[in-house]
Structure 1
Amino acid sequence: MSNLRYPIGIQSFSEIREGGYIYIDKTEYIYRLIAEGKYYFLSRPRRFGKSLLLSTIEEYFKGNREFFNGLAISKHDHTWDKYPVLHLDLSGCTIDSHDRLPSFIEDFLLRWENEYDIPTNHDIPYSLRFKEIIIQAHQQTGNQVVILVDEYDKPTLETVGNPTLQEKCRNILRSFYSNLKSQDRHIKFAMLTGVTRFGQLSIFSDLNNLNDISLNKKYSGICGITAEELHKYFDKGIEDFAASLNTTKEEIYNLLKENYDGYRFSPTDTTEIYNPFSVLKSISDESFDNYWFKTGTPSFLVRLIKFNKFPLQELTDYETTTSQLTDVSLELTDIVPVLYQSGYLTIKSHDTRLNTVTLDFPNKEVESGFLNQLMPLYTPIPSQKTEFEIIRFVKEIEKGDVESFMVRLQSLFSDFQYDSFDLKHLEQHYQDVVFILAKLLGFYTRIEYQTSSGRIDLVITTDNYIYLFEFKIDKSAEEAINQITRNHYPIPFKADGRRIIGIGANFSSHTRSLDSWIIKDL
């Protein structure tokens, strides 16, 4: 067994280097940042290494050369001068009252004022105190100041739904960040990171010198783990992982890719990125689980999807413009860029001619985790029983017990609360439930499968069966099954060799459930 140390949850570069933990060398990116520019913004999902990136930059500018021995940046010529670093970490700021953000910023200002022997004046705004700190730090050290802001958007995200408190936080932060432009001659380097890019926060219009590298292909791998890095740094750990499960390294690599790979952070770069937190946990635990998803379930986002009646089928193969990915409104009215920037959707393809992208779930962990969160909002199944109920559906469909599958599906709809149904959007609600269920089954599923003679509502394939579903609302099961045969839906699957079963079913708006179905071998 190897004695590899995995830096799970460790965001301090110095602690990783001093403690002998695995460090994925991202310092070539840092060298490029410093060599090519001065002001940057980077958006990445939570737990993707943003804090570690800023910690690494901080140690570089503090001149702590010993931490960088053997890393890519050490191959370049440097003076390793020591610069004053002002590092504002907003990740620990919980906005539960009007005085929380002011109190949090006050702590940082007092710390910096003490460091540079600056008298504290509570009668002037935070922005002016910050300005004086920047000026004094430069004058006292003789070197320009480095400013790092981690999770700049946390106060804004936490106050969605409270416009008064959100406006107060915006005003504080806007004036605070304005120093990044007004004090340019005192600043050596500045970088802001966060999950979302709030266009209306005015940071990006006021600070027109801020370079957003979130979609820049040169920096697509600055956070997270590439396939090359996975093999370079974790091959021995994966070998041990395989031995513990009595399988091959290739199988473990395939499962890691299926569960945790798939993120793309540039339309023009096809490099896929692994989720670093889940990979570290998986290899360390020698197991597979929804590690990243469990650390912060998107309950607010899934409620927003249901409230806005966003068609769930559009979560897969969603086409949009690249410009839509970059700005999020303060009210979060457009859910798609929020889902992308938060890591629940990612880029799957790019049309260079139209400059559009197609979005989808990045991997199995995100897809199953997200849909499991949606299930209790669209069905009567409580969240703690979702996986158990899905297993029942899986067993029935695997062994060809279609009748039991349909009875269970009927029961699922029959148990809905009357208030769960918005009769004006009944068909969409029904389609959403079928979509969630089909995706969670884990088989190959296609919603609205296109053939030369029409679209099949749902196709599910297992090792032994191909199921073709046609659903009607307030019509009849006979009409549904007849559409399958009349439109020759089985023809594309005839050469496959598996048993083809057609299911025609009718959904009644009166009973708010499936009222009839016909099962037929095709």
Structure 2
Amino acid sequence: MAITNLQRLPLNMPDFIALRESGMIYVDKTREIASIAMLRQQFFLARPRRFGKSLLISTFEALFSEGLKHFEGLAIHDIWREDRCYNVVRLDFSTIRLFDSIEAFTQQFEHLLSDAFGKYGFKPQQGEDRLIHLEIDNWLKTQPRQSLVLLIDEYDAPLTAVLDNQDLFKAVRERLASFYSVCKTNVAQLRFFFMTGIAKFNQTGIYSELNNLVDISLDPMYGDIVGYTESEIKKYFSPYLKDAAATLGLSEDETLQKLRQYYDGYCFDENASVHVYSPWSVLNFFARPYRGFKNYWIESGGQISLLGRYLKDHALRNPADYALEKTVSYGEMSIPTGPEKLRDTALLTLAGYLTIKRRELDTFFLGYPNREVEEAMATFYSERLLEGRSIPEVGAGEIRAAFEEGRVDEAVTLLNRIFLNIHYAPQPVRDEATCRNYAQLMLVVAGLRVSVERSNIMGRSDLEVFAGRCHWVLELKFLSRTEEEKGRKPERLLEDALAQLREKRYGLQDGGEEKRIRAALVFSEQRREFVLWQECLEADA
């Protein structure tokens, strides 16, 4: 199917009116939008970057400024009954990111406010001692009640830009708090208020000043207000799905399955009931399916330089934690806090690197949403383990091919080469869990699909690797330095691992045409490598 015959994708188009006028695909979220806009309240929504928050803000802007003019054929058209239009002030704080002093921030901040409010008659004073928030306060008091709509996009962008500079963070926070105080004082003039961001920093003043702010970030009713559900992908992008399948030589079901593996899995609601795809990744894939399943979100809005540095200094400090299940309390996700108190897992979840998998009482259990993020996090960790070098740079560039072609000796030899390049002092391999986690993240970086502790009726395997037409099942044993010094032999551990593969029947629950390779490996803490390995060759029966 010629790509030119398809309805245009809304890639890089966060403007609702321009999107509609150009005939691009619009995934209809207006039923949920109407349920929010009908209320005369103030709302907040936290979501990662590149998830459609700006398009959501733009849709509210079009609705309140021009009514149903651009909503023909959408769900809201038969729901919305308000015929009045409003003056809409829209502030995009993502435009204020590049500054290195409070003076530079203030200049950009005042310019943004002056332009946005100036459209409706606000005239800022001149002079060095001006306080623009007080001027806006005086101007707002002259406006009729319920006459303005205020929309704030990426409210926390100036704050995340200076997360690594606490003095500047505090100064920016104070300026923002003064403006939010004005918003609270003049709430009677606002017909509607909606604000988006990533994190919820209470020190900005927004949560104390606007104490009636309705936070819908964890509300199951709005779990898919941004992002695409699988049913929406099938409904709105079916021609692109067909085109991608034909381009890649896959069936539509196989293409959708890979889309699910790479870009689905984000869950934002407190019941863990709704999951969505990354819209940025999906749109980029459909635009260029011949490139395959690339890490589009991570390469653009997902990896923010300053936020990335903050995360590396905190949550990425221990690569051994890569595969461990992580938790965060309901309170940490729902109650605003400051950056100095915001735990790594909470920030990673808000930023989209982790997502909610399930909830038990007041605890969220977290994991990587999909392969795109899993691979990106593995890359972060591998850079620490290998001190900035890549797998090919340490001489193991053929490891993926070795796994895909089922070459056991070569695969383990190359895995050993990677382990021998891990600096022992800061990142020692002290136990079986660390050994397994390091092996997993390196294989993920190599582009292989890895499953940890995969269950069958008899137990859970250590590592399973899906490489081309090969399905590897690996049982790992760890020989500690102390045990080896006391005379324990790796051969005994190898026998134990082979017996476990036989008795527990790991990997045998799967059918399919893949070549199954089940192998036992013994890692020596003293030698820092796998010293023995053997394939389990008995019949599957």
Q: Which moved more, 1:330-339 or 1:482-491?
A: 482-491
What's the CA shift for 1:242?
2.1
Q: What residue in structure 2 maps to residue 135 of structure 1?
A: 141
Q: Deviations over 1:244-265 (max 9, x none)?
A: 3333222222221121111111
Q: Is the 8 A contact 1:302 1:374 kept in 2?
A: no
Distance 1:431 1:216, change over 3 A: same
Say whether 1:347 aligns with 2:356.
Answer: yes
Query: Superposed, which structure 2 residues align to 1:7-18 within 5 Å?
Result: 7-18=10-21
Q: What residue in structure 2 maps to residue 224 of structure 1?
A: 227
Give distance in 1, aligned partners of 2:209 and 2:494: 58
Give distance in 2, aligned partners of 1:251 and 1:97: 48
Query: Superposed, which structure 2 residues align to 1:352-391 within 5 Å?
Result: 354-380=361-387, 382-383=389-390, 385=392
Q: Deviations over 1:168-207 (max 9, x none)?
A: 0000011111122211211111111011122343422332
Give distance in 2, aligned partners of 1:39 and 1:59: 18
Amino acid of the residue matched to residue 482 of structure 1?
A: R
Superposition TM-score, scaled by structure 2 size: 0.85
Give distance in 1, aligned partners of 2:152 and 2:26: 22
Give distance in 2, aligned partners of 1:291 and 1:371: 16
Query: Superposed, which structure 2 residues align to 1:282-321 within 5 Å?
Result: 282-287=285-290, 288-296=293-301, 297=303, 299-300=308-309, 302-305=311-314, 308-309=317-318, 311-313=320-322, 315=324, 317-321=325-329
Q: Deviations over 1:132-181 (max 9, x none)?
A: 34334x24xx7521111111111111111211100000000111111222
Amino acid of the residue matched to residue 414 of structure 1?
A: L
Q: Which moved more, 1:451-460 or 1:326-335?
A: 451-460
Q: Deviations over 1:316-339 (max 9, x none)?
A: x32333222234531365110111
Give distance in 2, aligned partners of 1:378 and 1:217: 39
Give distance in 2, aligned partners of 1:495 and 1:230: 33
What's the CA shift for 1:214?
0.3
Q: What residue in structure 2 maps to residue 413 of structure 1?
A: 419
1:436 pairs, out of 438, 441, 445, with: 441
Q: What residue in structure 1 maps to residue 74 of structure 2?
A: 71
Q: Deviations over 1:181-239 (max 9, x none)?
A: 21121111111101112234342233211111000011111101112211111112212
2:531 pairs, out of 494, 516, 519, with: 516
Q: What residue in structure 1 maps to residue 410 of structure 2?
A: 404
Give distance in 2, aligned partners of 1:345 and 1:423: 25
Q: Is the 8 A contact 2:431 2:478 kept in 1?
A: no
What's the CA shift for 1:340?
0.8
Say whether 1:501 aligns with 2:519.
Answer: yes
Q: Deviations over 1:418-470 (max 9, x none)?
A: 7x625698988756523412444565645467899998754556635432111
Q: Is the 8 A contact 2:490 2:531 kept in 1?
A: no
Q: Is the 8 A contact 1:451 1:489 kept in 2?
A: no
Q: Is the 8 A contact 2:368 2:374 kept in 1?
A: yes
**Other structure's SS at 2:237 match:** helix
**Other structure's SS at 1:66 match:** coil
What's the CA shift for 1:362?
0.9
Give distance in 1, aligned partners of 2:348 and 2:75: 34
Gaps of 5+ in 2: 510-515
What's the CA shift for 1:10?
1.0
Say whether 1:181 aligns with 2:179.
Answer: no
Amino acid of the residue matched to residue 496 of structure 1?
A: L
2:338 pairs, out of 285, 305, 329, with: 329
Distance 1:460 1:202, change over 3 A: same
Q: What residue in structure 1 maps to residue 479 of structure 2?
A: 472
1:489 pairs, out of 496, 500, 504, with: 500
2:24 pairs, out of 21, 24, 41, with: 21
Q: What residue in structure 1 maps to residue 513 of structure 2?
A: none
Q: Is the 8 A contact 1:449 1:457 kept in 2?
A: yes
Q: Which moved more, 1:7-16 or 1:463-472?
A: 463-472
Identity value in percent: 27
Amino acid of the residue matched to residue 409 of structure 1?
A: L
What's the CA shift for 1:16?
0.3
Give distance in 1, aligned partners of 2:522 and 2:427: 24
Distance 1:113 1:313, change over 3 A: closer
Give distance in 2, aligned partners of 1:159 and 1:494: 49
Give distance in 2, aligned partners of 1:265 and 1:348: 9
Distance 1:206 1:226, change over 3 A: same
**Other structure's SS at 1:273 match:** coil
Give distance in 2, aligned partners of 1:448 and 1:480: 23
Q: What residue in structure 1 maps to residue 241 of structure 2?
A: 238
What's the CA shift for 1:129?
2.0
CA RMSD of aligned residues (A): 3.2
Q: What residue in structure 2 maps to residue 101 of structure 1?
A: 105
Amino acid of the residue matched to residue 492 of structure 2?
A: N
What's the CA shift for 1:407?
2.8
What's the CA shift for 1:478?
5.9
Distance 1:143 1:390, change over 3 A: farther
Give distance in 1, aligned partners of 2:241 and 2:459: 46
Superposition TM-score, scaled by structure 1 size: 0.87
**Other structure's SS at 2:271 match:** coil
Q: Which moved more, 1:462-471 or 1:179-188?
A: 462-471
**Other structure's SS at 2:34 match:** helix
Gaps of 5+ in 1: none
Distance 1:171 1:425, change over 3 A: farther
Q: What residue in structure 1 maps to residue 512 of structure 2?
A: none
Q: Is the 8 A contact 1:38 1:189 kept in 2?
A: yes
1:49 pairs, out of 47, 52, 70, with: 52
Q: Is the 8 A contact 1:50 1:150 kept in 2?
A: yes
Distance 1:451 1:19, change over 3 A: closer
Give distance in 2, aligned partners of 1:424 and 1:153: 39
Q: Is the 8 A contact 2:262 2:372 kept in 1?
A: yes
**Other structure's SS at 2:254 match:** helix
Give distance in 1, aligned partners of 2:474 and 2:64: 61
